[in-house]
Structure 1
Amino acid sequence: MFNIRNTAENCISCDKCISECLFLQQFGAPYKIAKKCLASAQSYDEAAINSYHCSECSLCSAVCPVDAQPFKMFEALRRHAQEKKLFGLDQYSPLLNYERIGGIFPFKDNILPEGCKTAFFPGCTLPALFPVATRAVYSTLKQRVPSLGLILNCCSKPSKMLGCYEPHTEAISKLSQFIETNGITKIITACPNCHMTFKEFSPSFKITSIYEELLSLNISIMNTPWLKEVTVHDPCVTRFESELQESIRILLTKSGVSLIEMDHSREKTICCGEGGAVGFHNRDFAQAWKSKRIAEAEQTGVPIVTYCAGCTNFLSSAKPVAHILDLLFVKRNKIPQLPRFPFNYFNRLNIRFSARLT
């Protein structure tokens, strides 16, 4: 578990993180928060409760010049809040139910052909919002790797994000054990949250993104992208994944799409507003992040493309946003409207049924 003393001893109060973050502007510098936590149990508990105003986007750690890792502190504070039962999660029930449903029948499934060593793990939200793109990518991969498997399940990132480490560890351990027991040596992820959740668990099998895999297999994109110029929104969860970020840009440029970068991109990207599920607790903070992201994108004068279905969904309420897999694998003439409940759930079921028939 992260030691909060690390932030207390290393933060130099340069205020670089504060200048970027509404949460820190309201609740104080990481150094002060850490010192208060170490000073008294009451202050520690108060900081743990306040951590649910944080988007957990890790921008504070990205701009920190001394590696004080304030993000790790806020992550630890949420864990403390749940271990001590300081903060109820009733308002997060829609998110936790979404996680629970993703791990049970009929949404959960494992399609593992004979000799399967590699499996595609698309996550929950991509099949729900972009079923055609999900099927197209899976089909394309199977042409190169006939024994490719498909695992439909939830990585339990919401529980981890909210500080519920015991249920998260139990779920990701069970999932990883299943993968290992079935002799799978590589998982191809399509969701940034799934990608990082697996990587941080450090399983024995290899974790690679669909974007890196497409480049590695030298798969040509047959469709002509229906956007010719875009700006890329990097999900905050993968802000330190430079190879993944570069893979996205190479795929786009190889497909004939020109890029205009925003001021905050790659490691310095800013949250779409959905991070940390802060919108369930502090809607104003979530909306402020969304507005900031949209404002930067509009300065480029071109449409937004991202590789996170969750970011696509959250930002789309303010401005149409394309998902890179939809852009590269589905024939369209404009950014589509996203399906809503219950159609998003039907889409997930259709992915399962159609994969069973192929």
Structure 2
Amino acid sequence: MSDGHPHTASSATNTPSGVLMSGVRRVTALLLRPLFSQQIPIAEKLASFCPPAETPEVTSDYPAPQLQSLEEVAARIAQRCTGCGACVRACPFLQEYGNPRDIAQQILSGDENASRNAFECSLCSLCGATCPEKLEPLQLFLAMRRNAVQHGAISLKPFKRLISYESCGNSDAFSLFGLPENADTVFFPGCTLTGTRSQTVQAAFEHLRSVYPRIGAVLACCSKPSHDLGRQEQFNGQFGKLYRQLHSRGIKRIITACPNCHKVFANYAHDMEAVSIYEVLAQHPPQTAAQDCVDRQDAYHFPPVAMHDPCPLRTYPAIHDAARALTLRSGADIVEMPSVKSRTLCCGEGGATAAIRPDFARQWAEKRSGQANGKTVVTYCAGCTGFLSPFVQTAHVLDLAFFPVKTLGGRMKPARAPFTYLHRLRVKGRWKRKYFR
């Protein structure tokens, strides 16, 4: 779908339809203001609307991961880490708490407080990418989080909003399983992208239907928040339930748009193929958007952009290349920043670190925005675009793919909470009526 040629904001809102939509938005905001006032945190309101469900039982038809104990992981890191400091130089968390060998030795010495410190790590795995010994300290930090939760050594109250967000995504109110007969492929757009960019998600699904005529769609949460918060029992139960629903209907391929969802399916649904929508679009580009680019080659010029690779996908070079191909196809030139692809930086949102160490999160965001040097940062993670937006202008690759002129002109505005929840409900309702009666 093309967004057509540029037009001024005033001309758009002065049309009858523009005036009507502006009025609808204002009325909706007035109606929602009491519900989402600042006197009561939004997490508490959402928790009452989407109460945490009982953790589903893990059954034999879901191959739950067999994880090593914290002591086993710590012993391996303590033995193999040389303490060279390569990872420390890049990470504010390690600069404060020491190299992975030091942290592992703390664990092995019985330090009861050490596990809690892992909640200040962004879980971005840059330490593994820079390690000359090819170690993965991320596994140590995840094991520390699981251990702290299991032994009640950490309060999860600072993460209440994130846990409520996950509960909403898995609730009957927000989830949708549109699984046509004989479908083996589903589109799994993720919670944040659907809420912030419902128009783009709609355009993406329409295009995917032209590539996979029997494609289904699932609106649900992959439960990575529980995974990263060390709530392993909750993750196994919730993702196991999602896996069973897909597996029982013969689903073999998951087309993801969210980096976190992609990593979860790739790591924990081994008999299903996780394919990014960026790879699909690079091979089957939207023709209307492509034509729009051709039509405007001589009429429009936009400054170059900087590409930010989401840290969950640092080990997926095919996705890195596909995102760049789509960006170039939109008409934008890319100037690469110093830390990209396998050496990409965290945007600051990773690991939910901002809930307890906002200074660490801010350091990541400021470093990335500084590397952009005033350029618009293009990425393929809705979370990254949102977290970086106070520091630098951002754009999403999917917006570029389907609405290039509007996006490069800075007029593609993502929705913000609480309207994101309404957008998710609207997408669910539209898809149920139009595709999955």
Band the TM-score falls in, shorter-chain normalisation: over 0.9
Please give the alpha-carbon distance, in whole angstroms, between the structure 2 residues aligned to 1:206 and 1:58.
23
Matched, 1:281 2:348: no
Partner residue of 2:88? 18
Render the CA deviation track for 1:192-244: whole Å, top value 9, x for unaligned.
00000111103312110001122344554434398562111111111111111
Letter in 1 for 2:126: L
Partner residue of 1:72? 139
Please give the alpha-carbon distance, in whole angstroms, between the structure 1 residues aligned to 2:321 and 2:328.
11
Identify which of 406, 409, 413 aligns with 1:337: 413
Matched, 1:126 2:193: yes
Please give the alpha-carbon distance, in whole angstroms, between the structure 1 residues aligned to 2:191 and 2:131.
33
Q: Is the 8 A contact 1:113 1:148 kept in 2?
A: yes
Identify which of 328, 334, 346 aligns with 1:253: 328
Q: Could you list the runs of 5+ residues in structure 2 that have no partner in the other structure?
A: 1-66
| 3-state DSSP of counterpart to 2:87 | helix
**How far off its partner does 1:335 sit?**
4.7
Partner residue of 1:205? 272
| 3-state DSSP of counterpart to 2:306 | strand
Letter in 2 for 1:356: K
Q: Could you list the runs of 5+ residues in structure 1 that have no partner in the other structure?
A: none
Please give the alpha-carbon distance, in whole angstroms, between the structure 1 residues aligned to 2:303 and 2:211.
28
Please give the alpha-carbon distance, in whole angstroms, between the structure 1 residues aligned to 2:416 and 2:328.
31
Partner residue of 2:79? 9
Partner residue of 1:347? 423
Partner residue of 2:159? 92
TM-score (norm 1): 0.95
Partner residue of 1:116? 183
Partner residue of 1:35? 105
1:183-202 paired onto structure 2 within 5 Å: 183-202=250-269
Letter in 2 for 1:315: L
Number of residues paired by the alignment? 353
TM-score (norm 2): 0.78
Please give the alpha-carbon distance, in whole angstroms, between the structure 2 residues aligned to 1:150 and 1:195.
15
| 3-state DSSP of counterpart to 2:113 | helix
Q: Percent identity of the aligned residues? A: 37
Partner residue of 2:394? 321
Identify which of 355, 360, 368 aligns with 1:293: 368
Please give the alpha-carbon distance, in whole angstroms, between the structure 2 residues aligned to 1:202 and 1:95.
23
Moved more, 335-344 or 69-78: 335-344
Letter in 2 for 1:121: F
Render the CA deviation track for 1:42-69: whole Å, top value 9, x for unaligned.
x1x3221111111111111110000222
Give 4+ residue runs of structure 1 displaced > 4 Å after superposition: 225-228
Which of structures 1 and 2 has the bigger CA Rg? 2
Render the CA deviation track for 1:275-300: whole Å, top value 9, x for unaligned.
110000111111111111110112xx
**How far off its partner does 1:353 sit?**
1.4
In structure 2, the CA distance between the partners of 1:164 and 1:345, relative to structure 1 (3 Å rule), is same
**How far off its partner does 1:71 sit?**
1.5
Please give the alpha-carbon distance, in whole angstroms, between the structure 1 residues aligned to 2:411 and 2:231.
36
